[in-house]
């Protein structure tokens, strides 16, 4: 058992324990996890009404149903989103399970039952088919070169089967061969192979980085950075820049419509679902870890499809009725 897993039930402090976990994650080169754990710890420290990093927070007092519920209420009062609350709670649950492993006598499997650990589906982030058509056919003359590139990246994410921005940014020149792109998803490490549509080929030919020594297909990230933490920061900066420029583009092309880097992926999934594509095909295209993830992802649209089917059924019945009456009057 390593130092992080060693526990003294009565005296282990949350801050000290999580700092050891964070350091371990840093050594394992997992910057996203380092960021989430650090944000969670800082949030809980603020909740504890003590701004010092070394404030006393005994694990035995932190991990009680009452204390966790107080923390949830504290976050709700500060108007944190449900997904942010869930992220912090799930991080604390991971810390608890590391400190008090499931199956041990002291472990409470229902400790987090009364706080929110789900995921709220962001159904409003998808664009309509007409809006996507407008973007694909947009006049770019009023956009700066940077804004044109940002729009191209957004369209590519949609055209390449809802590719996440992190995967687009990390695509390498060697990933593109003979009309195909093959890469591994950053989130799940699942291998993905995509045939490049002709619309995407045009954009890649114009915006790919074919001149520098960078291994990346697009000039989004700094290839000179080798440190994992600095690479993570470089990506976060690129993501913020992309979203800021994308907002400027949409204010011109789709006024009043809020979008982010995630919109392209969500739009592809939503339009595919509404076009009647099987959930299994959508799951495979998105590179989800399981069909269950995709079903949760698309669950909010299920009732819309049922309503659509109902309207079609009523229309077909009414059409049949008028057809029968016409035939009857014609003596058929």
The number of angstroms, rounded, from the C-alpha of 187 to the middle of its chain's C-alpha atoms is 9
The number of angstroms, rounded, from the C-alpha of 125 to the middle of its chain's C-alpha atoms is 11
DSSP state at residue 55 = -
Whether the Cβ atoms of residue 86 and residue 121 lie closer than 8 Å to each other? no
Q: Is 94 exposed, middle or buried (0-12, 13-18, 19+ CB in 10 A)?
A: middle
Rg (CA), the chain: 25
DSSP code string of 270-331:
HHHHHTT--HHHHHHHHT-S-HHHHHHHHGGGHHHHHHHHHHHHHHHHHHHHHHHHHHHHTT
Reading across the β-sheet that carries 180-184, which strands appear in turn?
A: 176-177, 180-184, 191-195
* pLDDT value of position 59: 93
* pLDDT value of position 158: 94
Whether the Cβ atoms of residue 93 and residue 117 lie closer than 8 Å to each other? yes
3-state secondary structure of 58: strand
| Residue 50 φ/ψ, nearest 5 degrees | -150, 115
Q: How far apart are CA 93 and CA 2, in angstroms?
A: 19
Whether the Cβ atoms of residue 25 and residue 225 lie closer than 8 Å to each other? no
Angle, vertex CA 117, rays to CA 114 and CA 121, nearest 5: 130
Which residues in the chain land under pLDDT 70? 1-11, 50-55, 120-124, 289, 293, 295-297, 299-311, 313, 319-332
* pLDDT value of position 266: 87
Fold of 124-288: hpI Integrase; Chain A (1.10.443)
Q: Which tens digit of pLDDT belongs to each residue from 264-307?
A: 988 988 888 887 788 778 887 887 767 776 766 676 665 666 66
């Amino acid at each position: 058992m390593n130092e992080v897993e060693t526990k003294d039930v009565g005296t282990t402090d949350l801050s000290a324990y999580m700092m050891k976990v964070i350091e371990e994650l840093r050594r394992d080169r997992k910057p996203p996890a380092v960021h989430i754990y650090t944000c969670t710890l800082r949030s809980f420290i603020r909740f504890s009404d003590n701004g010092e990093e070394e404030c006393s927070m005994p694990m035995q007092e932190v991990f009680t149903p009452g204390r966790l519920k107080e923390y949830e209420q504290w976050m709700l009062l500060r108007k944190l989103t449900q997904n942010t609350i869930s992220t912090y709670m799930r991080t604390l649950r991971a810390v608890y399970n590391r400190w008090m492993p499931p199956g041990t006598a002291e472990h409470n499997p229902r400790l987090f039952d009364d706080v929110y650990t789900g995921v709220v589906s962001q159904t409003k982030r998808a664009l309509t088919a007409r809006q996507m058509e407008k973007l694909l056919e947009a006049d770019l003359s009023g956009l700066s070169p940077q804004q044109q590139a940002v729009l191209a990246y957004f369209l590519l994410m949609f055209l390449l089967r809802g590719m996440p921005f992190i995967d687009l940014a990390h695509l390498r020149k060697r990933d593109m061969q003979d009309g195909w792109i093959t890469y591994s998803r950053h989130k799940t490490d699942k291998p993905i192979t995509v045939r490049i549509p002709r619309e995407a080929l045009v954009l890649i030919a114009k915006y790919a980085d074919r001149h520098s020594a960078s291994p990346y297909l697009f000039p989004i990230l700094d290839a000179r950075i080798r440190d994992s933490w600095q690479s993570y920061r470089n990506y976060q900066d690129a993501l913020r820049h992309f979203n800021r420029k994308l907002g400027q583009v949409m204010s011109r092309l789709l006024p009043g419509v809020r979008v982010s880097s995630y919109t392209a992926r969500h739009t592809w999934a939503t339009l595919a679902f509404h076009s009647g594509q099987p959930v299994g095909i959508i799951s495979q295209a998105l590179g989800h870890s399981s069909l269950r993830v995709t079903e949760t992802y698309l669950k909010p649209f299920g009732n819309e499809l049922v309503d659509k089917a109902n309207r079609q059924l009523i229309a077909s019945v009414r059409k049949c009725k008028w057809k029968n009456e016409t035939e009857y009057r014609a003596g058929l």
